[in-house]
A and B are shown apart, each in its own frame.
Chain A
Amino acid sequence: MDASLKILSGVAVILPLLGSCIWFWAKNKIGEKITGLAATGTLVISFICCLTLFWQIESSARVEFFSWIWMGSSELVNFSFLLDPLSLALGLIVTGVGSLIHLYATGYMHGDEGFGRFFSYLNLFIFAMLMLIWSDSMPGIFMGWEGVGLCSYLLISFWFSDEANATAGKKAFIVNRVGDFGFLVAMFCIFKAFGTLSIPEVLAIVNSGNLDIVQVGWTQWACLGLVLGAAGKSAQIPLYVWLPDAMAGPTPVSALIHAATMVTAGVYLCCRLQPLFFLNPGVMELIAYIGGLTALFAASIAIFQNDIKKVLAYSTISQLGYMFLAVGLAAPVAAYFHLMTHAFFKALLFLGAGSVIHGLHHEQDMRKMGGLRKQMPITFWTMTIGVLAIAGTPPFAGFFSKDEILHIVSGSHRGLLSNIAFVTAFMTAFYMGRLWIMTFFGKSRGHREAHESPWSMTAVLCVLAALSAFGGLLNWPELWGGNAWLEHYLGQVVTQMDVGHGADALEDSLKLAGFSSLMGLGALGLAWWKYRDYQTQDFRSPAFNLFKNKYYIDEFYDAVIVRNLKRSGEFLWKVVDQGILDGTLNGLAYQAKKTSERFRRLQNGLLQGYALWIWLGVLILMISAWSVR
């Protein structure tokens, strides 16, 4: 049984890697259509492997491949996979949504000269993501972590000929690197504390409970590092600036990487190392507050964005805020559930926006859209399902996962956070409604006739619409008679905070659910009223350009960090290097030259001059000899 597991997981991971190498050259040899289908094919195969793995493994399994020789200490770090519910669930999403998006991309990227290159990067991304999720040792995760960051850079600046895309890519990469720095610090601390880096061993030691104070101190630092890493990768408060700019990449990329998979890595990491976080509750609190604040903050900006992809980017940030909020309140299952449903409807929304843009020939500004209901019916209906799902209307997946989180937040009796959560939920519904209405209703402000996307794109949209519609079944709460499958499935690995199962609990949850869905519908109605016959006017309030310019965060970062960095760099270069180091060196050489110059003049070729000096010498010798006799 172990051998088959090894083969399956190996194939699932190695296939995308091989694929990425092949597509890079194969583009002009075997034609666009075939490369597209072949790339999607590799993804489908690895999805099937994941599926079979999912069926075969009950609790968790460890697959060893080969061992890295770890530098320095004799500790051997072996390259192996930890296939437990957490990693398999996420693996399914990654490969599933990934293959759908590959299919979509064959249509979307049709005719682009970098077609092969695009698919090789995508495959490479999938390989890195799987590595991140499945490897059992921190260095393994880190390798995946870096690989994913690299692919996001490559894909964001895919059309690198345009300066803006290139800088966006660089920005993303650098901000991620700051996060990776946190991750590295965490790894060092863990190694210092526990002497090993493979996660099962670390968790075993932590669960055994006999930790001395020093080790706990080190774990605290580790957790802080992990939070920084997660914030970097999942675009939370301090390091979220790169995600909106990442929209410069092609839409499938945004859908796959910046909605479904990569951004969830942070959440996965926190869930994976949950016992570590339990050791220091302060950090959990920090995560919760970061999540809440980010959610509110991003939602407020999303309301005033005019670019359709920017709106979706900020909505992703706020939804991730929700997930971190859940993780912070020790509810990893809820976070995971929201993560999965979010993957479905956010991918759907992004791809829908993609087909709108595709239809309008790369027009991204919503003010130039409108009235696409008739020209793009399928996109319209699938987008409607997505908007309803994210707004949290009852039958759809979004309602169940968000309601779960709201339930937990209100249950944890943290007043501020629960208010934030509810307000953000209202705002989310509002800006999604605004988006929905501005693109599909009202007069067509665009000057060109839009056309429906080809079947490859619309088919994917329909599948995703179905998933986001029935996603809620994954974790139908027991209170409402569901079997809460995900809770039991993930329960084997992570511990969920219990919200209570008594009769009043059911009553509360129903009340809560009713209130949240009413709020969502209300926000949609408000949006309908506001933007129904939208021409050009928009909010005209002083706060408006504050929100519009994203609270001037970018400028602030630039002013505080980047400029200072440049200035200090320049200072070091000019004053220290040029001034002091070179200065002393050149100074010495100059002095030597000057003195030798003086002595050179002494040797003027005059024979009698030399004789004079000799004579003086003799005289001096004579006198000194005589005086000393």
Chain B
Amino acid sequence: MVDVSIAQLLFVSFAIFSIGAGGFLIRKNAISLLICLELMLNAVNIAFVSFSRLHNNESGTVLYFFVITVAACETAVGLAIVLNLFRLKKNIRIQEANALRG
């Protein structure tokens, strides 16, 4: 068991979240978007578990479990959508999937 402060853990979590978010904004293809999304969710999980460790009760980990469920569903559906996008447009460039606009 490593004794480490919550601030360090939070810093790690937020840094990873920023990297994920930055990637999400910068990358141009749909799958990288999903991967960056996974990164962000993972960062959130780190925060959950570290707070659960700080307060020493298991709710954090339970929430971690629910986040994982959501992530799994989200990835599955996201990939299905990417698949359809690919079938439709023969490419998965995000810039070109902008039909749904004002």
A602 surroundings in chain B (CB, below 8 A): 102
Whether, in the assembled complex, A612 has its beta carbon less than 8 Å from a beta carbon of chain B, the answer is: yes
Question: Which residues of B have CB within 8 Å of A606?
Answer: 94-95, 98
In contact, B21 and A607 (Cβ under 8 angstroms): no
Q: Any chain B CB within 8 A of the CB of A511?
A: no
**Contacts between chains A and B (CB distance < 8 A), count:** 30
| Chain A residues with CB below 8 A from B21, complex form | 611, 615
Cβ–Cβ < 8 Å partners of B41 in chain A: none
Q: Is the CB of B24 within 8 A of A611?
A: yes
CB distance from B27 to the nearest CB of A (A): 8
Binary interface profile of A, 84-98, with partner B (CB < 8 Å = 1, else 0)? 000000000000000
Are A603 and B94 CB-contacts (below 8 A) given A608-B24, A612-B25? no
| Chain A proximity of B100: nearest CB distance (Å) | 6
* Chain A residues within an 8 Å CB radius of B94: 606-608
A21 vs B60: C-alpha distance in the bound complex, in angstroms? 99
Q: Does B99 contact A (CB under 8 A)?
A: yes
Give residues of chain A (571-629) contacting chain B, Cβ–Cβ below 8 Å.
599-608, 611-612, 615
**A605 lies within 8 A of B25 (CB):** no
B100 partner residues in chain A, CB cutoff 8 A: 605
Is the Cβ of B102 less than 8 Å from the Cβ of A600? yes
Interface residues on B, range: 10 to 19
By the criterion CB–CB under 8 Å, are B102 and A601 in contact?
Answer: yes
Given contacts A611-B25, A612-B25, A615-B21, contact A605 B101 (CB under 8 A): yes
Q: Which residue of B lies closest to A600 (CB)?
A: B102
User: Does chain A have a CB within 8 A of B33?
Assistant: yes
Q: Are A604 and B25 in contact (CB under 8 A)?
A: no
Assess whether B25 is in contact with A603, with CB atoms less than 8 Å apart: no
State whether the Cβ of B97 lies closer than 8 Å to any Cβ in chain A.
yes
Q: C-beta contact mask, A107-144 vs B, less than 8 Å → 1, else 0?
A: 00000000000000000000000000000000000000
Residue from A601, A608, A615 with most neighbouring chain B CB atoms (10 Å): A608
Q: Are A605 and B24 in contact (CB under 8 A)?
A: no
Residues of A within 8 A of B98 (CB): 604-607
Contacts of B24 in A (CB 8 A): 608, 611
Bound-state Cα–Cα, A604 to B100, Å: 8
Q: Are A608 and B25 in contact (CB under 8 A)?
A: yes
A607 to B93, CA, bound (A): 11
How far is it, in angstroms, between the C-alpha of A599 and the C-alpha of B97 when the chains are bound?
Answer: 20
- In the complex, A599→B95 CA distance in Å? 20
Picked from A603, A611, A612, the residue with its CB within 8 Å of the CB of B102 is A603
- Closest beta carbon of chain B to A592's beta carbon, Å: 15
Chain B: minimal CB distance from A620 (Å):
15
Which residues in window 9-27 of B have CB below 8 A to A?
21, 24-25
Within 8 A of A (CB), among B76-102: 94-95, 97-102
Q: Which residue of A lies closest to B96 (CB)?
A: A605
A575 and B3 CA atoms in complex are apart in Å by 82
- How far apart are B20's CB and chain A's nearest CB, in angstroms? 11
Q: How far is the CB of A626 from chain B (nearest CB, A)?
A: 13
Across the interface, name the chain B residue whose C-beta is closest to A608.
Answer: B25
Contact of B97 among A600, A603, A607, A612 (CB under 8 A): A607
Q: In the assembly, what is the distance between CA of A604 and CA of B97, in Å?
A: 11
Nearest residue (CB) in A for B30 is A607
Give complex CA distance A605, B99 in Å: 6
Which residues of B sit under 8 angstroms from A607, Cβ to Cβ?
Answer: 33, 94, 97-98
For the complex, give the distance between the alpha carbons of A611 and B95 in Å.
13
Q: Quote the shortest CB–CB distance from B13 to chain A (angstroms).
A: 14
Residue of A with least CB distance to B25: A608
User: Closest CB-CB distance, B47 to chain A, in whole Å?
Assistant: 14
- A residues less than 8 Å from B99 (CB atoms): 605
Q: Report the nearest B residue to A599, measured CB to CB.
A: B102
Q: A600 to B21, alpha carbons, bound, how many Å? A: 25
B16 to chain A, nearest CB (A): 15
Residue on A nearest B18 in the bound complex, by CB:
A615
Would you call B101 and A603 a contact (CB within 8 A)?
A: yes
Chain B residue nearest to A606 in the complex (CB): B98
Instruction: Kindly list chain A residues whose C-beta atoms are within 8 Å of the C-beta of B25.
Output: 608, 611-612, 615
Shortest B79–chain A CB gap in Å is 16
CA distance A600 to B99 in the complex (A): 14
Residues of A within 8 A of B33 (CB): 607
Q: How far is the CA of A91 from the CA of B100 in the complex (A)?
A: 87
Bound-complex Cα distance A603 to B98 (A): 10
Q: Which residues of B contact A605 (CB under 8 A)?
A: 97-101
Interfacial chain B residues near A599, Cβ < 8 Å = 102
Closest Cβ–Cβ distance, residue B74 to chain A (whole Å): 15
Min CB distance, B24 to chain A, in Å? 6
For B33, B99, B100, B102, the residue with the greatest tally of chain A CB atoms inside 10 Å of its CB is B102
Chain A nearest Cβ from B18, distance in angstroms: 10
Most buried by A among B25, B33, B99: B25
Give the distance in Å from the alpha carbon of A611 to the alpha carbon of B102 in the complex. Answer: 17
Instruction: List CB contacts (< 8 Å) of A482-530 with chain B.
Output: none
| Complex alpha-carbon distance, A607 and B30, angstroms | 10
Which of A601, A604, A607 has most B Cβ within 10 Å? Answer: A607
B102 contacts which chain A residues (CB < 8 A)? 599-604
Output the nearest chain B residue to A615 by Cβ-Cβ distance. B21
CB distance from A539 to the nearest CB of B (A): 84
Closest Cβ neighbor of B95 among chain A residues: A606
A338-362 vs B, CB cutoff 8 Å, 1 = contact: the mask equals 0000000000000000000000000
A480 to B95, CA, bound (A): 119
Question: Which residues does A use to contact B, with CB under 8 Å?
Answer: 599-608, 611-612, 615
Q: A607-B94, A608-B94 are in contact. List 9 more A-B contacts (CB 8 A).
A: A604-B98, A605-B99, A605-B100, A606-B94, A607-B33, A607-B97, A611-B21, A611-B24, A615-B25
A-B contact pairs, 13 of them (CB 8 A): A604-B101, A605-B97, A605-B99, A605-B100, A606-B98, A607-B33, A607-B94, A607-B97, A607-B98, A608-B24, A608-B25, A611-B24, A611-B25
Instruction: Sort A-B residue pairs by CB-CB distance and give the 10 closest, nearest first.
Output: A605-B98, A605-B101, A600-B102, A603-B102, A608-B25, A607-B94, A604-B101, A603-B101, A606-B98, A605-B100
